[in-house]
Amino acid sequence: MASLAVVVLGFTSPALAGAATSQNAGTAQAGALGGDKCKDDKENRYGDYGVLGDKDKDKNKDKCKGPKGDTGNTGNTGNTGNTGKTGNTGNTGNTGNTGNTGNTGNTGNTGNTGNTGNTGNTGNTGNTGNTGNTGNTGNTGNTGNTGNTGNTGNTGNTGNTGNTGNTGNTGNTGNTGNTGNPGPCISIDSDQQADERESKAVLTPDGTAFGAVQDFNATPPYTWVDLTADNYPSNACGITVAERGNTVRFEVVTTDGQVFERICSVSNGEPSVLECDPEDVWVAAVDQVPGTTLSAGSLSARSIKPLMSSKPLTANDMAALKQLATSRGLDWSAEKGFTKKSHK
């Protein structure tokens, strides 16, 4: 009951214990019970001072005011009641629904990287330790693969020139080579019989004969005239010129020793010029030995007379004839003409 009173009425255990204390019937004031119509004393209500006074506006008011009674002695504390049975355990309430998990908050911004601290001072270098004992020599490893050939090095400087070796012995003289082909026939001649002019003759390498009269007082001094005409030998190899009066005689000698001549004239004027009549053709010279030639294979000092000229030979003429004789392997002199070379 005491437990139930605590639960239902809200009384504390001491109050409940006081209510359960036995009271003596004679010790209570008559007005303390509130059974009459008089109002209770302000300081005594049902034996408790000031519980139901007028200031408290108790609903159980009476019309009479009783005298203020003495406070009764406190009753003995009653025995503690037996502990009531433990009530049945109430049903377990339903488990509430689990609340939804809140959204994950945004990741905060990464803080700025702090400044790098100053580098500390380098510590002092420790003392060098003692050199350890030399270890045993290890086994020789396997020979590695041959490496790639390196680039060719730069060319070294040229060494000093060695001493000149001794001159070797002179070799044996080689055999005489074959005689080469005859060279081109080239010849020139001139003749001056007057103070103002000079006759000229030229044989070019292609075998063509040219003539001219050089006038010393004219500009240009002369003009070459092509002497090619009927019966001109194709194998002419030497040429001469001679002037007498206004007549100019040209003579050529061929490679086989034949002599041919042609007559032209001089036309006086300023300048004087050479004129050759087309009807004046090349003819064999009249002073040739009939039936003979000047070829080296057919000449004989005893059977051939000297080649005679129709005019005195000049120094140039003699030089030209000597050159011609030499080219043919012959000798030439004004007295004997062309003769075979003598061999000692």
Q: Quick one: pLDDT band at residue 67, thresholds 50, 70, 90? A: low
For residue 57, which amino acid is it?
K
Enter the DSSP assignment of 218: S
pLDDT above 60 (res 334): yes
Name the residue with higher pLDDT: 151 or 14: 151
Looking at residue 71, what is its pLDDT?
Answer: 66
Q: Please state the rounded mean pLDDT for residues 89-117.
A: 78
Q: Please state the rounded mean pLDDT for residues 114-122.
A: 84
Name the residue with higher pLDDT: 284 or 287: 284
Q: Please state the rounded mean pLDDT for residues 275-296.
A: 73
Q: What is the rounded CA–CA span in Å between residue 262 and residue 277?
A: 10
Cα distances from 263 to residues 89, 196, 199, in angstroms, run: 179, 21, 13
Q: What is the rounded CA–CA span in Å between residue 334 and residue 338?
A: 9
Q: Please state the rounded mean pLDDT for residues 182-197.
A: 85
Name the residue with higher pLDDT: 67 or 169: 169
For residue 312, cis peptide bond before it (omega within 30 degrees of 0): no
The mean-pLDDT minimum among 40-54, 171-185, 279-293 falls in: 40-54
For every residue of 60-108, DSSP letters joined together read: S--S--PPPPPPPPPPPPPPPPPPPPPPPPPPPPPPPPPPPPPPPPPPP
Looking at residue 17, what is its pLDDT?
Answer: 40
pLDDT above 80 (res 299): no
Tokens representing 136? 């045993």
Looking at residue 163, what is its pLDDT?
Answer: 92
Q: What is the rounded CA–CA span in Å between residue 294 and residue 257?
A: 4
Q: Please state the rounded mean pLDDT for residues 187-197.
A: 87
Looking at residue 6, what is its pLDDT?
Answer: 44
Q: What is the rounded CA–CA span in Å between residue 255 and residue 237?
A: 6
Q: Please state the rounded mean pLDDT for residues 321-330.
A: 72
Identify the bridge partners of residue 98 per DSSP, sorted by sequence position.
none
- Provide the 10 A C-beta neighbour count for residue 197: 24
Q: What is the rounded CA–CA span in Å between residue 123 and residue 336?
A: 124
Looking at residue 312, what is its pLDDT?
Answer: 62
pLDDT above 80 (res 63): no
Looking at residue 222, what is its pLDDT?
Answer: 79
Looking at residue 252, what is its pLDDT?
Answer: 95
Looking at residue 209, what is its pLDDT?
Answer: 95
pLDDT above 70 (res 5): no
Contact between 81 and 1 (Cβ < 8 Å): yes
Contact between 188 and 240 (Cβ < 8 Å): no
Q: What is the rounded CA–CA span in Å between residue 123 and residue 138?
A: 37
Tokens representing 282? 């090349």
Tokens representing 216? 């010393």
Tokens representing 303? 């059977």
Q: Give per-residue burial for 34-68: e unless 16+ CB within 10 Å, then b.
A: beeebbbbeebbebeeeebbeeeeeeeeeeeebee
pLDDT above 80 (res 297): no
Q: Of 239, 235, 208, 227, whose CA–CA distance to 293 is shortest?
A: 235
Q: Is the dihedral of CA 290, 295, 298, 304 positive or negative?
A: positive
Looking at residue 66, what is its pLDDT?
Answer: 53
Q: Quick one: pLDDT band at residue 311, thresholds 50, 70, 90? A: low
H/E/C letters for each residue in 32-57? Answer: HHCCCCCCCECCEECCECCCCCHHHC
pLDDT in tens, 35-60: 445 444 444 444 444 444 445 454 55
Location of structure tokens 């070294």: 156
Name the residue with higher pLDDT: 181 or 188: 188
Q: Please state the rounded mean pLDDT for residues 220-230.
A: 87
Tokens representing 186? 């080239």
Looking at residue 90, what is its pLDDT?
Answer: 75
Tokens representing 340? 């075979």
Looking at the chain, the whole-number percentage of residues with pLDDT higher than 70 is 66
Q: Quick one: pLDDT band at residue 259, thresholds 50, 70, 90? A: very high
Tokens representing 148? 């790639």
Name the residue with higher pLDDT: 301 or 235: 235
pLDDT above 60 (res 343): no
Name the residue with higher pLDDT: 148 or 12: 148
Location of structure tokens 């082909």: 181
Q: What is the rounded CA–CA span in Å between residue 338 and residue 299?
A: 8
| 3-class secondary structure, 327 | helix
pLDDT above 90 (res 89): no
